[in-house]
Structure 1
Amino acid sequence: MKAVILADGKGEELLPLTVRTPKAMVPLLNRPCMEYTVELLKQHGITDIAVSLEYLPELVRDYFGDGSRFGVALTYFEEQRLSAGDEKNRQSLAEFLNDTSVVIRGDILTDCNLSEAIGFHRERRSMATLVLSGDESRLQGLHVWTNREGNVTGVAEQSVEEGSFALGTGIVLIEPEIFSLLEDEGELAEPEQLVHSLFQQGIPLSGYVMKAYWSKIHSLMEYKQVQCDLLDGKVDRAIPARQLAPGIYVEGDLAIDASVRLEGPLLIGKGVHLQTGTSVGAYSVIGSRSVVAEGSALTQTILWENSYIGMQADVSGSILGRNTSIGDCVLLGENTVVGDGCRIGRAASVKAGVLIWPHKGIEEGATVNHTVIFGNTQPRRLFDSQGITGIGNVDITPEFVSRLAAAYAYQLPPGSRIALCACDHPFAQLLKHSVMTSLCAAGIDTIDFGVGIAPQLRYGVQSLSCTGGIHIQMAKQHGEKQVTLRFADQDGLPINREMQQSIELSCRQEMYARSLGRLGQLHVEHRVWDAYKQALFMQVDGGTIKHRGYTVLVECESRFLLSLLYPLFTELGMTALVGSIADGVSSYQADMGVRLLQSGEALELFSHTGERLTEDQLADLQMIFSETRSEGTNEARFHPKLDAIYILMCIVDYLCKKELSLADLVLQRRAALRLQ
């Protein structure tokens, strides 16, 4: 026995899921539909299989290969070449079909007893036997009438005759002699066309009515229902996963945080991370390497692989393609379908039944109540007040930063030098090397400052006369690692809005700089922190601070930031206590408390009594030291509003000189402002 699997369907009825995925490769419980067909054939001893391809054939070939991984032997034929009259390809197919063969669609799901059907076919010595379904509730399919002897008496696309009928399932058993009767071997690509052709030629046909599960998956609703049927055990197909609890199927490794609620039946793929407080309802399927962030709820939802669901999102009865990203607090209505690679912004609302074509971007806070086929694939703005931010390896990937760096290079004059710096997180360092590679490929020289903080980059850009710089920071935000890329101009300041817009335009229009005539040079400069520290010492009275013996309670996320502060504080005779401000500054007997934020660019200050300075009070102190900067000196390389360490040292220096507490300084400034 041999078989021909028809894997050439485009699957228009499953759009937008099938825009870039052949219907035979659409996943059912995280496995391609065609894999169930291969498994069925092997179960009944049929291992020599031809596969007819047309739409995106490479996707089928790449996944199944020669079939050895599945215990079968696969040979591929392209249906377009058959129809076009490629004699060599037609002859090869004719030689392959030298035995009784099963012609079966690769985009159906069935647990048909093929052995019984083959026995029926051979018993009647039929030239061709149609495998039929007696389930008349399924209206889609070829209508076939048979007599008591099992002979086919009529075929039609819809019911036009009286009497009961059966539906063609897309499975036909044929003898090799039938090949010579076909006017066009391309007719094999459509079982309905094959049956019509044979019936019109008067060739006797048999009809075997199976008592088994069958679905043509002819709509998005049926696509969801098929997976419910698989989870309910209505299909005689094993689910290759372990059960954590009855009906809770898990493939491979799984990360589950506290307070996760699971309601079976459901399937969770390999490498999935369910964060604290998530809820996954019955009949949900989560693709491999997907993340469901804190507090989100999924109900009867199908996620394809590598999808991301943001915090507090509500996804009900939806289907999401691979590599999709759903922002925080997004609401997806019932029967929403989102294509591959889409990005839906925070707090957006997508109404029930909306279809979104692949690689579309929905802006933050948008309400979508109609199908989205055309539109921009990227948000209008990449930059926010901090720079460019997003979830690591979801929004901000090595591929993304490589394109972003190329768009940035497009704005730079030849011979530019860009400084690069990143925090100590391995992923941030990886992104830095992606940026470095892309800039060098565009002919831009780079200077690697190594591991560091944003103020260190801003200082180094000026001191080394760079054209600009990029700092990459990872910070934990509500359970996820958030990446921030900060761009600096030649003065170490944030790039202006005009430059931001130019970079965004280049990204959208894919205007990238590339150069083979001159590749950029990479330089390594890891002494920037030492230079920054020495310049900082010149701005304060070290002797006075040492005499005072100042103690500061420091709270910050990065251990690296603390490791930078320790030698600085030690050299100035200061004591750094690491702890939580919430525990109370006074309980540590510290002179002040400081919470460092945004890679050392921002801070919050607390007096010895634990009172937090307001934003206005802090801004007032920053303004004082901004106005007293001495242009043309090293001090000009510090930015009080973007350098928390500098402003902290200036305040400590002032307090020690005046023998004041932070609370006293605030009172003085309040009185001075009243007099003004």
Structure 2
Amino acid sequence: MNKMGVIKIKAVIMSGGKGTRLRPLTCQIPKPMVPIFNKPVMEYIIKLLKSHNIYDIAVTLHYLPNEITEYFNEGEKYGVHMSYFIEDVPLGTGGSVKNAKGFLDSTFLVISGDAFTNIDITKAVKFHKENNSKATLILKKEPIPLEYGVVITGEDGRIKKFLEKPGWGEVFSDTINTGIYILEPEVMNYYKAGENFDFGKDLFPRLLKDGIPMYGYITSDYWCDVGDLHSYMNTHVDFLEKKVFPVEDAEEVKKGIWIGRGTIVEEGAQLFPPVYIGKNTIVKKDSKIYGCTVIGDNCYLGENTSVKKSILWKNVHICNNAEIRKSVLCDGVRISDRVRIFENSVIGTSSIIKDNAVIKSNVKVWPEKRVERDMVVKNDLIWGTGVSKNIFGKRGVSGIFNQDITTEFSSKLGGAFASLYQGKSLFVIASDEKDSSQIIKNALNSGVVSAGGRMVDIRVGTVPMVRYAVNYLKGDGGIFVSCGDSNSDTISIEFFDDKGKNIDRTQERKIENEFSIGDFNRTNGGKIKDIIEISNFSSLYLKYGEEILDHISSIKEKRPKIVIGSKSKYIIGLAEKYLKNIGCNTVSILEEELKEIKEKIISVKGDMGIIVFQNGENIILIDHEGNFIKDEKYNFLTFLIGLETKKIKNIVIPYNFPRTAVSLAENYGGSISITKTNVSEIMKEMEKDDSHFQYILSFDALFAAGKIIDYVSYKNIKLKDIASEIPDFHFIKKEIPCKWEDKGKIVRLLSEDKKQQLEMFEGVRFLDKNGWALILPDIEKPTFNLYAEGSTEEFAEEISDFYYEKIKRLLEDKR
């Protein structure tokens, strides 16, 4: 601190990233050099640092470093001193800063080169010093924090927990990590120079574990991570609305309209605020420039041209009668007559779009490309159509056939999946029997092989069959495509790892990232691998289903009559073959309606009914009297069989499952493992416990039926006899509609309830002497899922009603 009371610190600007999510904006420049109002975003950072008396600045570089060093030089133009540290290989956020060697000899601030902010650094540093903090993270409240690291602090600001890009069930706070830190140099001693480590994933968790004082400074100032096209465009809107900095280098000739020096706006041109036009630009007569448009220096807009909510960089030339809507045109773009460019498109540097061409919404044209006259461009000029980055839901990717899930989309998705394996891997694929599923399967095949992967197509199958095939063929992964039901246009695509398990969220994010970037490797024609087709793989699969039974002779002796119900002819044929092979008599009905199956069982005097769903994974059982065993009751039945036969020692249950399972396991000398509700987490836990029996009964409907028939035949009992041993449990499930933006707020408010005992493993679970309630935001819908269990039916209803009304009240208060 100097004599004037100003705390003197240094700063490190991390500028090594490639900015892949911003491509094609960043194809030829690093992300910190992407312009906002004609200036690189990093220039605003330098000016902010100087305004808070930070003059000594280090810059870490990796991607296109000369673009930054040649523009800023040593910082003399800005009244600061800049030193550069170049990484030969990426070292992570922490590793890149550690690479700054002797620069880190006093308190220093770390900020990303793509952070656009007016944060009061002086106040943050004062907070850091007053709390004797060794690491202070500058935090910001964000209503939908899923794409950020969430930080949980105590009332005094001390950091208690980190959550890296949480799911909706983990949003216990809306305070996100801005990536701006104030650090004491000793915290960097945890790692050596040249080591690859990350602040959020590696260093900060270690400091927290060791009890090092770490604090979160929550700011209400403006901050935006200019990391993707959406945030980049929104930043310009915020700038125009004066939420960040005052507009410079232009005169506000009329409220909300800024015009730079040397610019000519001809009579008859119309400007609708807010609009910014840079220097030496010409706007011809009868042109219309609508609000939230930013135009750079040295541009030309021809007669009767219309531009709305768009960003034009420098030297953009647009001829007559063109129409630009909510798009970005990079440096030197040339647009000819009557061109139309629609929402969320990007035209890369020096590209040329000829007369009458149409660029459809969400299209990205890479730099120096040429679109010929009269062309309609629906896809990215490189590969596939543009689409939202978040494409995975609860179970893979789903959407409407030929709307959300097109052949172009699916081909690109297959390529993104294969690219994770560098194109050297073997994948298994199948679909249900529907034509639409098979069309999408073929597109996925094309995408995978074009990225260098090898496909084994077992043609028509089920989810469990693909899982088995991945293991049998020693594949590196698998894909299954299915329709919702016989009358549905909904397509579902599931991805599996090398053990046949559903891929986890980390792998999903990697695929989403590859898909979003869109420039993954493609193999050349000479290296394309043939697709191997196996038309009778089901025989190997069913043979395995026979081998896993312990008492097949008892089944053949009893000859039980099994009624099979499904909406899939293929599933019925598969089930008939399997059950007949193991010794059952079968009666089939092409139906999933419970009433129809129940009536059929009673009329034919069947021993048991099974309803197998379209994917081959889910099952409902019906006993000989027509009683249904499904959902949680079915799970309890499988637990009973597993515990009694000692095939299960440890029951794996998701977090939202009735805790009656705990006492059931204890009664048989077993134990319980509780996982998050995501299917990949459940499968991982079963694999850890080597619980093959529970895996089959949970994820393979046909073989589960075989196992249960095997058990009742050997025991010479009825299905109803086992069901009668299921312990009483009182469990209620409800859905509560909400707005997407309310999810994080409500979870945070619930997690701050000090009056009740709660858990925050996933969602918020409230514990009561008479039961519990779990509030879990839905990953796919604007909905809260409410689960409640009580020691009696009355208590379950009471608990459920209480939290239902509590959430409704909180939602109403937020309106």
How high is the TM-score relative to the length of structure 1? 0.52
SS of equivalent residue, structure 1 residue 222: helix
- Relative to structure 1, is the Cα distance of residues 47 and 6 closer, same or farther in structure 2, using a 3 angstrom cutoff? same
1:144 matched to which residue of 2?
Answer: 151
Kindly indicate whether the alpha-carbon contact (under 8 Å) linking 1:296 and 1:312 is maintained by their aligned counterparts in 2: yes
Is this contact kept in 1: 2:98–2:192, CA < 8 A?
A: no
Match for residue 239 of structure 2? 230
SS in 2 for 1:144: strand
1:149-168 maps to which residues of 2 (within 5 A)?
149-159=156-166, 161=170, 163-168=172-177
- CA shift, 1:357, in A, is 1.0
**Who is 1:257 aligned against?**
266
- Aligned residue for 1:264, secondary structure, equals coil
Q: Identify the residue that residue 12 of structure 1 maps to in structure 2.
A: 20
Which residue in 2 is equivalent to 1:671?
A: none
CA distance in 1, matches of 2:165, 2:98: 35
Whole-Å separation in 1 of the counterparts to 2:372 and 2:150: 47
Rounded to whole Å, the distance in 1 between the matches of 2:195 and 2:122 is 27
1:71 aligns with 2:79: yes
Alignment of 1:505-524 (within 5 A): none
Alignment match, 2:381? 372
Where does 1:539-554 land on structure 2 (aligned, <5 Å)? none
What is the CA distance between 1:327 and its match in structure 2? 0.6
The corresponding residue for 1:116 is 123
SS of match in other structure, 1:206 = strand
CA contact (8 A) 2:259 2:279 kept: yes
Paired position in structure 2 for 1:206:
215
* Separation in structure 2 between the aligned mates of residue 228 and residue 268 of structure 1, nearest angstrom: 14
Is 2:317 aligned against 1:317? no
C-alpha distance in 2 between matches for 1:92 and 1:8: 12
Cα distance in 2 for residues equivalent to 1:200 and 1:157: 16
1:287 has 2:296 as partner? yes
Could you say which residue in structure 2 is the equivalent of 1:173? 182
| 1:276 has 2:285 as partner | yes
Distance 1:73 1:237, change over 3 A: farther
Q: State the partner residue of 2:351.
A: 342
Alignment partners' CA distance in 1, 2:138 and 2:201: 12
- 1:294: Cα distance to partner? 1.4
CA-based RMSD of the aligned residues comes to: 2.4
User: How far did residue 194 of structure 1 move?
Assistant: 4.1
CA distance in 2, matches of 1:66, 1:36: 16
By how many angstroms is 1:40 displaced? Answer: 1.0
Moved more, 138-147 or 329-338: 138-147
Residues 6, 189 of structure 1: 8 Å contact kept: no
Read off the aligned partner of 1:124 and give its amino acid letter. Answer: N
Query: What does 1:548-567 align with in structure 2 at a 5 Å threshold?
Result: none
One-letter amino acid of the counterpart of residue 10, structure 1: K
Aligned match for 2:134, one of 127, 135, 142 = 127
Larger radius of gyration: 1
Q: 1:222 to 1:138 in 2, by over 3 A?
A: farther
Q: CA deviation at 1:344?
A: 0.5
Q: Identity rate of aligned residues, in percent?
A: 34
The 1-side partners of 2:10 and 2:294 are apart by 34
Structure 1 residue 252, shift from structure 2 partner: 2.3
Distance of 1:313 and 1:165 partners within structure 2: 43
Residue aligning to 2:316: 307
Distance in 2, matches of 1:326 and 1:162, equals 45
Q: Which amino acid in the other structure matches residue 326 of structure 2?
A: G
Mapped to 1, the partners of 2:189 and 2:199 lie a distance apart of 17
Give yes or no for the alignment of 1:35 onto 2:43: yes
The answer to whether the aligner puts 1:353 opposite 2:362 as a matched pair is: yes
Shift of 1:72: 1.1
Once the two structures are TM-superposed, the CA of residue 231 in structure 1 deviates from its matched residue by: 0.5
Compared with structure 1, are the counterparts of its residues 213 and 66 closer, same or farther at alpha carbon in structure 2 (3 Å cutoff)?
same
Residues 501-650 of structure 1: pairs in structure 2 closer than 5 A: none
Assess, with a 3 A threshold, how the Cα gap between structure 1 residues 8 and 92 changes in structure 2: closer, same or farther.
Answer: closer
Residue 271 of structure 1 aligns to a residue whose secondary structure is coil
1:442-470 CA-to-partner distances (Å, cap 9, x unmatched) read xxxxxxxxxxxxxxxxxxxxxxxxxxxxx
Cα distance between partner residues in 1 of 2:247 and 2:15: 22
CA 1:151–1:282 in structure 2 vs 1: closer, same or farther (change >3 Å)? same
Code of the residue aligned with 2:277 in structure 1: it is: I
Name the CA shift for 1:197/1:347 in 2 (closer, same or farther; >3 Å).
farther
Match of 2:502 in 1: none
Query: Cα 1:168–1:185, aligned 2, differ >3 Å: closer, same or farther?
Result: farther
For the Cα contact (< 8 Å) 2:190–2:203, is it kept in 1? no
Q: Deviation of residue 92 (structure 1)?
A: 7.8
* 1:366-445 paired onto structure 2 within 5 Å: 366-373=375-382
1:52 aligned to 2:60? yes
CA contact (8 A) 2:99 2:194 kept: no
**Aligned-partner SS, 1:179:** helix
1:100: how far off?
0.8
Deviations 1:17-57 (A, max 9, x none): 11112111111111111111111111111011000111111
| Inter-CA distance 243–121: structure 2 relative to 1 (3 Å threshold) | same
Letter in 2 for 1:344: I
Range moving further from structure 2, 89-98 or 279-288: 89-98
Which residue pairs with 2:442 in the alignment? Answer: none
1:452-491 alignment to 2 at 5 Å? Answer: none
Corresponding letter in the other structure for 1:143: V
Give the superposition deviation at 1:241. 2.2
After superposition, the Cα gap between the structure-2 partners of 1:92 and 1:365, relative to the gap in structure 1 and judged at 3 Å, is closer
Q: For residues 306 and 189 of structure 1, what CA distance do their matches in structure 2 show?
A: 39
Confirm or deny: 8 A CA contact 1:82 1:186 kept in the other structure: no
Which residue in the other structure is 2:111 paired with? Answer: 104
Q: CA deviation at 1:137?
A: 3.2
Give the direction of change, closer, same or farther, for the CA distance of 1:336–1:346 in structure 2 (3 Å limit).
same
Amino acid at match of 2:87: E
Give 1:161 shift: 4.7
Give how far 1:6 is off: 0.6
Distance 1:374 1:245 in 2: 44
Q: Contact between 1:250 and 1:268, CA under 8 Å: does it hold in 2? A: yes
Letter of the 2:186 partner, please give it.
E
Matched AA of 1:16: P
Q: CA deviation at 1:93?
A: 2.5
Structure 2: distance between partners of 1:198 and 1:187? 17
Distance 1:54 1:15 in 2: 17
How far apart in 1 are the matches of 2:115 and 2:298? Answer: 26
Identify which of 217, 221, 226 aligns with 2:226.
Answer: 217
Deviation at 1:185, TM superposition (A): 5.5
How far is the alpha carbon of 1:106 from its aligned partner? 1.0
Q: Partners in 2 of 1:10 and 1:104 — Cα distance?
A: 16
Long gaps (5+) in structure 2: 1-8, 385-815
The verdict on how the C-alpha distance between 1:79 and 1:190 changes in structure 2, with shifts beyond 3 A counting, is: farther
Instruction: In structure 2, give the amino acid aligned to 1:145.
Output: I
Q: Distance in 2 between matches of 1:90 and 1:4?
A: 7
Q: Report the Cα distance in structure 2 between the residues aligned to 1:187 and 1:197, rounded to whole angstroms.
A: 15
Q: Is the 8 A contact 2:267 2:285 kept in 1?
A: yes
1:316, 1:217 → 2: CA distance? Answer: 21
Assess, with a 3 A threshold, how the Cα gap between structure 1 residues 239 and 200 changes in structure 2: closer, same or farther.
farther
Query: Does structure 2 conserve the Cα–Cα contact (< 8 Å) formed by 1:309 and 1:327?
Result: yes
- The residue type paired with residue 216 of structure 1 is D
Corresponding position of 2:248? 239
**Aligned position for 2:69:** 61
1:183 offset after TM fit, Å? 4.0
